[in-house]
Each structure stands twice: as C-alpha cells, then as structure tokens.
C-alpha cells in the first residue's frame, strides 16, 4: 500500500479561494494524494471572551474578525470541491465541532480528519465515526488515555481509521519529534500509523516514511513569509515537490525485505567472486 501524502492547506489560504486553488495546483503537480482544509463554527469552538480579545489582523482588530477572515463558508468550499474534481485530487477537512462536521457532509468527501486539538471531543468523534469514512486521527498533545479512548470509540463504531503521530508545536523542534512513536502507537493499538509534521525541513518527514508511516501530512504554503500562524511550520512549493519525490523514492527503496541475488548482480558476481588463481 502506497504512503498517502496529504498537503495540509488548512487556513494558509488566508480566506482567499484563489490562493487555495494555487496551493491545490502545487499539490497536484507534486503528486500528493489529497489536500486538506479546516472548518470551524466560531461560536462553538471559542468563548465570547476569546473572540472579543483584541488582535490586529488584515481583517480587523479582534480575534473574531481575524478568525472570520480565515474561515471558508459553503460557497467557498463548493468552489474548492469543483476545482479538486477538475484537477483529479481528493480533498477533505478537519472539523473542530459537530455543527461544522454536519455542515460539511454535503460534500461527500472520502476521508475525515480528527485534529490533535479535538481528539478528546467525544461528541465530535462520535459524529465523525458515524460516517464510517476512513479517518486520520492526529495525536499531538494527546495523553495515552485520550488516544486509547479515541481508538476504542472508532473500533466500537466500526469506522476505519489510522493514527497520526504528531507534535503540536509550530514549528516543532527536530529533537522533540520522537519519530519512534510511530512504532510505539502501531504496537499499542495494532493499527496503521501515519505522521503529521510541523517541523521545518524535509528530512525528518522522509525518515517517518522509512520508519513505516502509512501517511504523511505536511502544511503547504505559497510563501512562509505570508500572514498566518501556521506559515512558519509549512513547506513552500519547491520543497513540497522534493518531499513527495523523496518519500516515493524511500518507499520504492524499502522493498520487501527478502534477501535475493538480482539478475543484474550475477555477471558482476561471476567476475568479482572468482576464486581461481590468476
């Protein structure tokens, strides 16, 4: 099974559908399998006090105005849906609340995603699992008990899933990535385990592929200098193309682990392994 590569556009589109389409183009050109967005019902996810907090942004002077500016509505997602179908790439989303999950069902995406910050939101997980779609569950910030509870819920619902090892700092320090957790999670829960990375650079995500990650997700941006809290932990277009290329190369190089002598090695062996005296 090929590693499933996800270009996380998230909110890096800055509320602009045309920017989102440019990032979809990059994902397609790179050979990614899917692009992912985020969807929130602001008054369900944040308190009134949080939304009223002062915050300077291109959209105003409060948290609410900033978050509204970043939030796509149904009309924008209809455009995204059409564009992804035209370009031949899957798209899906991580909903942060039940209302958002229900709203987005109209698009009939093939996959679901549980964001790290929502892994303990059981009503949301129940709504997602009820759809019986393959679900990627990120584990950043999650305790052992929170992961176990999420796994139990999805297994009880008969919903296919895979965990994604994740460190939820933006950007994450290389020494904090703890990639061996890919094996730990697989051994503990007997399921496929992917990797959702927020580090700078590409080598560690390629290493995750070599360690057996079944999916790799990285944030995509057109320019890391753009406005936005996720931009610094994102990968620019040329880097994303290299990332996909290198993951595919590692995937091909891993092989099946069976030791054999290649046909191409036999004439070399005949020449170099001679034991007769010259």
pLDDT (tens place) for every residue of the chain, 278 residues total = 799 999 999 999 999 999 999 999 999 999 999 999 999 999 999 999 999 999 999 999 999 999 999 999 999 999 999 999 999 999 999 999 999 999 999 999 999 999 999 999 999 999 999 999 999 999 999 999 999 999 999 999 999 999 999 999 999 999 999 999 999 999 999 999 999 999 999 999 999 999 999 999 999 999 999 999 999 999 999 999 999 999 999 999 999 999 999 999 999 999 998 766 55
With respect to residue 277, please indicate whether it lies within any of the assigned structural domains: no
Q: What is the pTM of this model?
A: 0.95
With respect to residue 31, please indicate whether it lies within any of the assigned structural domains: yes
Write the CATH number for 207: 3.20.20.70
The 10 Å Cβ neighbour count of residue 78 is 14
With respect to residue 174, please indicate whether it lies within any of the assigned structural domains: yes
Q: Which two tokens stand for residue 205?
A: 């995500």
Instruction: Say if residue 198 is preceded by a cis peptide, omega within 30 of 0.
Output: no
With respect to residue 278, please indicate whether it lies within any of the assigned structural domains: no
Q: Note down the domain range covering 29.
A: 4-272
With respect to residue 168, please indicate whether it lies within any of the assigned structural domains: yes
CA 247 – CA 3 distance, rounded (Å): 8
Torsion from C-alpha of 140, 146, 147, 153, nearest 10 degrees: -130
Number of structural domains found in the chain: 1
Alpha-carbon dihedral sign for residues 153, 156, 161, 166: positive
Reported as a single tens digit per residue, the pLDDT across 135-183 is 999 999 999 999 999 999 999 999 999 999 999 999 999 999 999 999 9
* pLDDT at residue 190, rounded to an integer: 97
Average of per-residue pLDDT values in the chain: 96
């Amino acid at each position: 099974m090929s590693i499933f590569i996800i270009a996380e556009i998230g909110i890096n589109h800055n509320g602009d559908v045309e920017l989102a389409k440019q990032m979809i183009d990059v994902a397609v050109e790179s050979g990614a399998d899917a692009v992912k967005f985020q969807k929130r019902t602001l008054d369900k996810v944040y308190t009134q006090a949080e939304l009223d907090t002062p915050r300077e942004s291109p959209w105003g002077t409060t948290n609410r105005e900033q978050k509204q500016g970043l939030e796509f509505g149904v009309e924008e997602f209809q455009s995204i849906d059409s564009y992804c179908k035209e370009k031949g790439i899957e798209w899906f989303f991580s909903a942060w609340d039940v209302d958002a999950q229900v709203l987005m069902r109209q698009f009939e995406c093939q996959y679901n995603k549980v964001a790290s910050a929502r892994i303990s939101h059981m009503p949301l997980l129940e709504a997602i699992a009820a759809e019986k779609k393959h679900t990627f569950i990120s584990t950043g910030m999650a305790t052992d008990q929170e992961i176990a509870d999420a796994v139990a819920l999805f297994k009880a619902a008969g919903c296919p899933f895979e965990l994604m090892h994740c460190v939820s700092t933006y950007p994450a320090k290389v020494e904090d990535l703890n990639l061996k957790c890919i094996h730990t999670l697989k051994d503990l829960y007997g399921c496929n385990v992917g990797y959702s990375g927020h580090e700078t650079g590409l080598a560690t995500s390629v290493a995750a592929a070599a360690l057996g990650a079944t999916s790799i997700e990285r944030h995509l941006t057109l320019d890391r200098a753009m406005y936005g809290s996720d931009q610094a932990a994102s990968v620019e277009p040329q880097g994303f193309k290299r990332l996909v290329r290198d993951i595919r190369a590692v995937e091909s190089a891993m092989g099946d682990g069976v030791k054999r002598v290649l046909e191409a090695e036999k004439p070399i062996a005949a020449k170099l392994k001679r034991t007769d005296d010259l």
